[in-house]
Structure 1
Amino acid sequence: MNIDLTNCDKEPIHIPGKIQSHGFLIVIGQDGAIHYHSENIKNFIPEIPENLIDKHISSIESIIGKNEPPDFINKLITFGRTNGFEQTNPFNTDIQGKAFHLIISHSGDFYLLEFEPAKSDSVTDVHRMIGRSISEMLADKNLQSLLNNSAVQVKNVIGYDRVMVYRFAEDGHGEVIAEAKNAELTSWLGLHYPATDIPKQARELYKQNLTRLIANVHTEPSGILAAANNTQPLDMTLSHLRAVSPVHIQYLKNMGVESSFSISLLYKKELWGLIACHSYSPRFIDYRSRESAKLIGQILSSALEFRQDEENQQQQERYKSAVDQLSRLMLKDNNIEYALTGHAVTLMNAVDAAGAVLLFENNMIKLGVTPTDSQITSLTAWLKNNIADTFYYTSNLPSAYPEATLFRDVASGIMATVLSRELGEYVIWFKPEQLQTITWAGNPEKPAIVTNDGGMAHISPRNSFEEWSQTVTGTSKSWTNEEVKSVVRLRSEITYAINQKAGAIRLLNEKLKQAYEELDTFSFTISHDLKNPISTIKSFTQILLRDKDLKPQTLKVLERINNGADKMNNMINEVLDYSRINRSDFVLTEIQPGNIIRDIVNDLLLVYGVDESCITIGNTPKIQGDPVMISQVFANIISNAVKYSMKSEPPKVVIEGMENENEVVYTITDNGMGIDIKHLPRIFELFHRTDNVGDIEGSGVGLAIVKRIIEKHRGKIWVDSELGAGSTFNIAFIK
């Protein structure tokens, strides 16, 4: 690609075809043959042949490591394949009498052998200083003090001129939030940098390479020679010597930086920020020192995660307490509106908002600071016509709904949940405009200059890093994940209360009757018009499978057709079950769920081969319900918990019931892949499956069936989940 600032976000920086020249690279295949190597090997080993392509690594081992035992590279790779290369890296060797580190990593079917000097430019012993520095870092309980002290400690350890803690915002731009620097340097604390300065693909690589060194921006990178049959470029994602984008090199030169070093900071496996280190003279840090510095980043990441989780937990408990109290008030009061708006705890306590409005049964009840009645009416009309989901939130309403500019001072951010689209019933929370003055390191709207070089116009990274201020309007404080979860839960509670107290007088009886008639017709069509052709397909497939003369490939295709017919038949049966639930008569009887749950768990242990210790069954208080339907509920939820936690090490599923004076609540908790916050409002919808389920089997019908069964039992179900951290399904049965 011809890369400039117009397309640098698409630059394939993982396949640069070059390395930084302070070390050299050899790439071997599974058979030990050399497929690639850097052109600069002779700079380090003059007597080695210029072209090593297709030679076996054993033929040059004695030249590379004169004091090493025979076949030492193959032995290192064999050990690393079994135990992980972090156990072998770095391997200490000497080349031409100088100490070198050999670092081994994977690249598809290849092994990267990277050789770097084993001595840093710094006189500081990073390895020795690391323990004391970490102790001093973690002494701070306050988050900002922790970050400030971390910058100071990293500077003391590696001796760079400037060390910054750089945090990424949701849109990818970054801000310097802590800094330690030489006295003569101008402070960059508080400066913001556009997302293009560290584009998306670079941010992705920082999640895999937790440290990144650019030793000298002025040295020419070394090219990589490849075998003639190597048509694919070498993937250098895990390479430590990987060359740097020319755009980024020019960017550092424009700042006067001659060497940079970064340490990744992660939160929940996502890139939170960087410890970015700048030197105004060339600097090299050896592999062991970089690994020691990486430990600082990992410990700081853990400290950040702990403090953020602690804050989230406090917020979650506050919202949960408010929603629980509102739920009790709705079931106690005959007037749902008054229950939500007339007590000491109101809709306002479910989130951190400045105002809220409840539109219910042709009434508009406003709390706190809100737009005017006419503005709210126009806003709800816009929501009805433009937002298809039952849940919507934004912290920049004027950008989506320009009319909101008129009342952005009170409602730049909204969170809206639909109670009934047909009746125009909503709950909407409002956050006011939060004016921000952002100080950029240069004007982000003019990030580049055009220069002429030999008649060709190239875009160069900006040279000006003078402060440039921008006032951001029409934006509120962001809605947190905890606020989203709180509103999803509250909507479920409101819907439940409406169904309990006002279902008989709601106006959709005729539409509901018509829908049931259409559903009956639909069910009849499925059971007759669809199941018969499937039976025919399956019958003919089974006949063909008996023919032993068919080729193996043909038999394999027929097996797939047969399995597909079974899958389609199961899906049809699930849809039929879904359509029948509300029309099925049942008699409530006393049930001991413990027996049902244990039978389900025993079956799942056999099916999935899960160790018995992975599933914990706590108290199982009795409930009132239909045994067949309740068995279907527990089977669906528990099997999902097991399926979606299979990849966790180890998988954990906990099933427990709790009893109070009004209800029995069962919780099924797993440590699986979790549910993205954006999918929570729709998790019980028919045929809805989340993006991250991969190849895990499912039709998207099971949870919809579960919800219908629970509602038929006059109970309620809700879920609390976090992506990558597991899910908790809660099922409440009335006594």
Structure 2
Amino acid sequence: MTVQRTAASEPGYSLEHAVTTSCDREPIHRPDAIQPYGLLLVADSTTLTIIGGAGDIEGRLAPDWLGRPLPAILEVPTSRFHDEKHPSLSDLRVPGLKGETFSVLRHDQDTHILIELEPVEPHNLLTWDIFGEIDRTADRFERCPDTASVCRQGATIFQRLTGFDRVLVYRFMEDGTGRVVGESRNDAFPSLMNHHFPASDIPAQARALYLRNRIRVIPDITYEAASIRPPEAGLAGLNLSDVQLRSVSPIHLQYMANMGVRASASVSLVVDGVLWGLIACHNATPRRLSEDVRAACRTLAGVMSRQLRNKEELVTYQERLRLRNAMEFVTSHFDVRHPIESNLRSFMGELQSLFSCNGFAVISGETITATGVLPDSENLHKLHDWLRMGTNGGIFTSAMLGKDYPPAADWPERSAGILAITLPFRTPMCLIWSRVEIIQTIEWAGNPHKGDEDDDGVLRPRTSFKTWEQTIRGHSLRWTNEQKQAARRLRRVLIADYQTQQLRELNATLAATLEERESLLRQKDFLIREVNHRVQNSLQMVASFLKLQARSAANEETTTALTEAQHRIAAIGLVHRRLYRDEHFGVVDLGRYLEELMEELCSSLGEDWHQQLRLALFPIMISADRAINIGLVLTELVINASKYAYDGNAGPLHVGLAQTSDRLILTVSDQGECTPQLKGTGFGTRMMNAVVSSLAGTLTYTTLNPGLEAVMTLPLDSVLPTEADASTEAALSQIPYPYP
């Protein structure tokens, strides 16, 4: 019988909504009892005295077991329990009272040692047979093309090995539900292939135990649990997580009974430390699995798990390689001369095929270029606005868009799932791959929504496992991790291409701007040098005029004044020539300039001064206008020394230029015997005082006996070149002509 139900009226329903049930709260790892087909001994880990146990120990092992030493009961030396190199006792075989032989499993737990005793089957598989079966099984798994084939092959192999009526390969899905992906059976049970089971059927703590204990056997679900005794031993709540004989939850036993199962075994499939699924074995009659068969199952499950991982990794690798090659093909054919948006629109088909989808759109501002099945333009613009506000890292994926973006619930037939890349360009862009809904009919082994707890609060398992169908709407195919990673790589590539393009455009603009500026600079340089030539001619004309006037002057005072003016004009002319001869207009090496100025002054004052002049000039770059002022002051000081110290004749003269941490010091000293005039009121003195004051400096005089020393001190901030003075481009951009 098939029960049908449709979820068409429930667009918000999702298989990801795993059911959290009261079963999750059941302490199944502390049942205080074992299955009675074996025995359990609990001993003190320090004294090795047996303090408790479970099962028919008196009738099957030793009547007086309680309080006796554990080594004596097991007939092994005490040293075996303290041998750190060989702590396991799995090689032991302990004889019983009824002709039984027990295998031994040891578990160390806090202050207790737990010993499991399980009767050994008389007919064991030969070791050679086990190895042969493992080898043949591994070869079959190796030839399987995919995980589905491995699961089908695994079900057949485990049914043949265990002899159970039905063997299911049960896989855990991402939402905690389970699905049967492999099956091998006889006529004792109906098929459950492709059926789904709700997450509540195997609660979280049960999955944790399956990960811890890789194989679990229930030989007969009708057993009566053997409690741990005696009660006064204080062993209630003992953790039996590692004990294979651990009693099973009554709810699970009833669950198995409702399925018509009398005996079961579960073997864990663990891939990379995660519980991938289970091999579930069901039998209609009681059935045990011997120790050697369990060992073979455990080994084959490990082989199968590795093959499952290999097949999944192969699929992942192939998908990743396909996506990488497809993405590189698209992006490598972009035309660097065209904008990114234009390239994206030119490769719409290639981009759409990058991820399997029903529609693809490129949204840029108000422009939409789309192909395939998609929502209308208005809804796409609204979706784009929502994506820009909420996506994390520029990538958004959804296989149930109506849940994440409620307006999309109205058009699942046009878009039920999307993969979107938002690009933070100057004009924001978005790439959207869209998938329409896939109407799924899920076959459940019973109603997954039926509660497991009645009004009285008592847990009860499901009673029906008839096929129950449910139609799921509003879902699209899931986007794989490889597709999400490829989307992130594509986004990085597109952003890098966009930035490269922006830099290329900026470089082109800068190159054009620089070329235009170079042309302007060449024009300005020509004009400036032309103006300089004319200024130099004008200064020479004035100097020549002053020289003629000095020769024809009627008195000595007028001659002296005209000569001093001639010297001052020579200083200005020298700075002007230096200004337009140096590499950097507007910046002058003061030490070099003062040296050339003194050479010119000595030539003007008389050749004898060349022999008397001593220079100690520190090189320092200063602005040209400051150099002119300092040159005028130096000229005036030298003229005063010639005039007052040596009465117009040549004499020893020292000129020094030095720099301290924050000051510039100019020193002019002579050794003349004439009386110096320190407080003159003439034009030269007033000019020097005004210039020094404009530079925020000081001018002091010191009598040397004989001679006089003049010291001008200037703060460096007032003379150093500014950024506008430091380069030709900056200077000329602010000064179209040297002298308007």
TM-score, normalised by the number of residues in structure 1:
0.60
Match of 1:38 among 53, 57, 66: 53
| Cross-structure match for 2:101 | 99
Give structure 1 stretches of 5+ with no counterpart: 507-735
In structure 1, distance between residues paired with 2:281 and 2:229: 32
What is the CA-CA distance between 1:161 and the residue it aligns to? 1.1
- What CA deviation, in whole Å up to 9, does each residue of 1:41-74 have, x standing for no partner? 534546444644xx6xxx2422x23xx4422641
What is the CA-CA distance between 1:322 and the residue it aligns to? 2.0
In structure 2, distance between residues paired with 1:273 and 1:126: 28
The letter for the 1-side match of 2:302 is: Q
What is the CA-CA distance between 1:226 and the residue it aligns to? 8.0
| Cross-structure match for 1:16 | 31
Cα–Cα, structure 1 residues 136 and 45, in superposed 2: closer, same or farther, change >3 Å?
closer
| Cross-structure match for 2:502 | 502
Mapped contact 2:58–2:65 kept (Cα < 8 A): no
| Cross-structure match for 1:491 | 491
| Cross-structure match for 1:159 | 163
In structure 1, distance between residues paired with 2:111 and 2:335: 63
- What CA deviation, in whole Å up to 9, does each residue of 1:472-518 have, x standing for no partner? 11111111111111111111111211222136999xxxxxxxxxxxx
- Residue range with higher mean Cα deviation, 390-399 or 355-364: 355-364
In structure 2, distance between residues paired with 1:435 and 1:355: 18
What is the CA-CA distance between 1:365 and the residue it aligns to? 2.6
- Residue range with higher mean Cα deviation, 355-364 or 163-172: 355-364
Match of 1:206 among 210, 214, 222: 210
In structure 2, distance between residues paired with 1:420 and 1:228: 72
What is the CA-CA distance between 1:437 and the residue it aligns to? 0.8
Match of 2:121 among 100, 119, 122: 119
In structure 2, distance between residues paired with 1:36 and 1:330: 79
Cα–Cα, structure 1 residues 178 and 488, in superposed 2: closer, same or farther, change >3 Å?
same
Instruction: Give yes or no for the alignment of 1:132 onto 2:171.
Output: no
The letter for the 1-side match of 2:168 is: M
- What CA deviation, in whole Å up to 9, does each residue of 1:626-679 have, x standing for no partner? xxxxxxxxxxxxxxxxxxxxxxxxxxxxxxxxxxxxxxxxxxxxxxxxxxxxxx
SS in 2 for 1:9: helix
Instruction: Give yes or no for the alignment of 1:26 onto 2:41.
Output: yes
In structure 1, distance between residues paired with 2:486 and 2:204: 31
| Cross-structure match for 1:78 | 84
Mapped contact 1:137–1:153 kept (Cα < 8 A): no
Between the aligned residues of both structures, percent identity stands at 28
SS in 2 for 1:460: coil
TM alignment of 1:258-273, pairs within 5 A: 258-273=262-277
Mapped contact 2:51–2:66 kept (Cα < 8 A): no
| Cross-structure match for 1:595 | none
| Cross-structure match for 1:458 | 458
- Residue range with higher mean Cα deviation, 211-220 or 356-365: 356-365
Mapped contact 2:41–2:54 kept (Cα < 8 A): no
Mapped contact 1:211–1:264 kept (Cα < 8 A): yes
Cα–Cα, structure 1 residues 249 and 332, in superposed 2: closer, same or farther, change >3 Å?
same
| Cross-structure match for 1:697 | none
In structure 1, distance between residues paired with 2:234 and 2:21: 30
Cα–Cα, structure 1 residues 417 and 281, in superposed 2: closer, same or farther, change >3 Å?
same
| Cross-structure match for 1:537 | none
What is the CA-CA distance between 1:12 and the residue it aligns to? 2.8
Cα–Cα, structure 1 residues 369 and 34, in superposed 2: closer, same or farther, change >3 Å?
farther
Mapped contact 1:341–1:347 kept (Cα < 8 A): no
What is the CA-CA distance between 1:235 and the residue it aligns to? 2.6
Match of 1:141 among 138, 141, 144: 144
Cα–Cα, structure 1 residues 264 and 457, in superposed 2: closer, same or farther, change >3 Å?
closer
In structure 1, distance between residues paired with 2:289 and 2:484: 45
| Cross-structure match for 2:409 | 405
In structure 1, distance between residues paired with 2:158 and 2:106: 26
In structure 1, distance between residues paired with 2:393 and 2:177: 29
In structure 1, distance between residues paired with 2:108 and 2:395: 44
SS in 1 for 2:190: coil
The letter for the 1-side match of 2:210 is: Y
Cα–Cα, structure 1 residues 457 and 321, in superposed 2: closer, same or farther, change >3 Å?
closer
Give structure 2 stretches of 5+ with no counterpart: 1-18, 507-740
What is the CA-CA distance between 1:250 and the residue it aligns to? 1.2
What is the CA-CA distance between 1:260 and the residue it aligns to? 0.7
The letter for the 2-side match of 1:14 is: H
Mapped contact 2:51–2:233 kept (Cα < 8 A): no
In structure 2, distance between residues paired with 1:391 and 1:262: 41
What is the CA-CA distance between 1:440 and the residue it aligns to? 1.0
- What CA deviation, in whole Å up to 9, does each residue of 1:360-391 have, x standing for no partner? 35432324332221121222233344545533
The letter for the 2-side match of 1:494 is: L
The letter for the 1-side match of 2:92 is: F
Cα–Cα, structure 1 residues 125 and 410, in superposed 2: closer, same or farther, change >3 Å?
farther
SS in 1 for 2:279: strand
Match of 1:347 among 340, 351, 373: 351
Higher relative contact order (CA 8 A, sep 6+): 2
Of the two, which has the highest radius of gyration?
A: 2
| Cross-structure match for 1:610 | none
Mapped contact 1:326–1:345 kept (Cα < 8 A): no
SS in 2 for 1:409: coil
Mapped contact 1:360–1:426 kept (Cα < 8 A): yes
In structure 1, distance between residues paired with 2:129 and 2:39: 28
| Cross-structure match for 2:243 | 239
Mapped contact 1:163–1:276 kept (Cα < 8 A): yes
SS in 1 for 2:460: strand
Mapped contact 1:38–1:222 kept (Cα < 8 A): no
Instruction: Give yes or no for the alignment of 1:61 onto 2:71.
Output: yes
Cα–Cα, structure 1 residues 91 and 460, in superposed 2: closer, same or farther, change >3 Å?
same
SS in 1 for 2:288: coil
In structure 1, distance between residues paired with 2:26 and 2:407: 39
What is the CA-CA distance between 1:323 and the residue it aligns to? 2.2
Instruction: Give yes or no for the alignment of 1:282 onto 2:286.
Output: yes
In structure 2, distance between residues paired with 1:111 and 1:60: 9
Mapped contact 2:125–2:292 kept (Cα < 8 A): no
SS in 2 for 1:305: helix
In structure 1, distance between residues paired with 2:252 and 2:426: 54
Instruction: Give yes or no for the alignment of 1:322 onto 2:332.
Output: no
Q: CA RMSD in A?
A: 3.2
In structure 1, distance between residues paired with 2:236 and 2:477: 47
Cα–Cα, structure 1 residues 495 and 463, in superposed 2: closer, same or farther, change >3 Å?
same
Instruction: Give yes or no for the alignment of 1:438 onto 2:442.
Output: yes
In structure 2, distance between residues paired with 1:344 and 1:20: 65
Match of 2:309 among 295, 305, 309: 305
Mapped contact 1:36–1:224 kept (Cα < 8 A): no
Cα–Cα, structure 1 residues 312 and 128, in superposed 2: closer, same or farther, change >3 Å?
same
The letter for the 2-side match of 1:475 is: H
Cα–Cα, structure 1 residues 136 and 326, in superposed 2: closer, same or farther, change >3 Å?
same
Mapped contact 1:130–1:293 kept (Cα < 8 A): no
- What CA deviation, in whole Å up to 9, does each residue of 1:594-614 have, x standing for no partner? xxxxxxxxxxxxxxxxxxxxx
The letter for the 2-side match of 1:251 is: Y
In structure 2, distance between residues paired with 1:352 and 1:274: 31
Mapped contact 1:412–1:432 kept (Cα < 8 A): yes
Cα–Cα, structure 1 residues 388 and 153, in superposed 2: closer, same or farther, change >3 Å?
closer
